[in-house]
Structure 1
């Protein structure tokens, strides 16, 4: 089973999402999703998440809290949360088409406009479910 770690990063009541590249053959092309990625051999989910955030947006997060695990027949997702302590302008998007702070209303609607794409793009179904669960828990 594929092991991945995902980050719920929040700031000012909004949540950081990545608009995935719209390239055929990748998982969830052209949809909004959470930042994160696959575990390397011998890597813990927490270390994976910290590495992926540095690689994908140049963000160093010191402390993350485990929110939940989401498993299906193909993927086991470890989901962590932490505040986003820098402005969006201080992040460098190294992977993906766009990034943005999505509102709870965007997440409930399942879509959000992307300036770079010039159109409304869907939120990936597993990522929307994770965020709806997270918002229902009122942890922040």
Structure 2
């Protein structure tokens, strides 16, 4: 995995995505992805965000995706880093979550939750909606551990 600054240049077959680390009171908002085998990280906790549209900058993309997925207007996201692997070029942004989790409207995914640093370190989180523990996506956990170590 490599780490670099934001650009929109991508190798031909690897998708570019923009993802948001939304934080509140020392915890991180995460989405429990749907349990659909054909999606990346099914039934795992991950970040809100998604694929960039043609010609879209990562900052515009992360704002659009967060608005679509949880009806939250992300203002002034701060670039954290880029994480590349064979699955995606990931542009990671962070910003405070300035509303209560109850005000968010989940438009995509099975659940959402504020995940504690302890949950991140353990690699799993309880889903109130499903009444069970689900793992964090491997890359999402790695990125959050990096984020926690820097802030």
Structure 1 unpaired stretches of 5+: none
Q: Match for residue 73 of structure 1?
A: 86
Q: Decide which of 118, 124, 130 is 1:111's aligned counterpart.
A: 124
Provide Cα deviations, 1:31-90, integer angstroms capped at 9, x if missing partner. Answer: 000100000001000000000011000000110100000001231000000000000011
Q: Shift of residue 26 of structure 1?
A: 1.1
The answer to whether structure 1 residue 3 and structure 2 residue 30 are counterparts is: no
- SS, match of residue 61 in structure 2: helix
Structure 2 unpaired stretches of 5+: 1-13
Q: Return the TM-score normalized by structure 1.
A: 0.97
Q: How does 1:55-134 map to 2 (within 5 A)?
A: 55-134=68-147
Q: How many residues align?
A: 138
Q: Decide which of 46, 57, 76 is 1:33's aligned counterpart.
A: 46
Which contiguous aligned blocks of 4+ residues in structure 1 show a shift greater than 4 angstroms? Answer: none
Alpha-carbon distance between aligned partners in 2 of 1:122 and 1:3, rounded to the nearest angstrom: 24
Q: Return the TM-score normalized by structure 2.
A: 0.90
Q: Decide which of 61, 72, 89 is 1:48's aligned counterpart.
A: 61
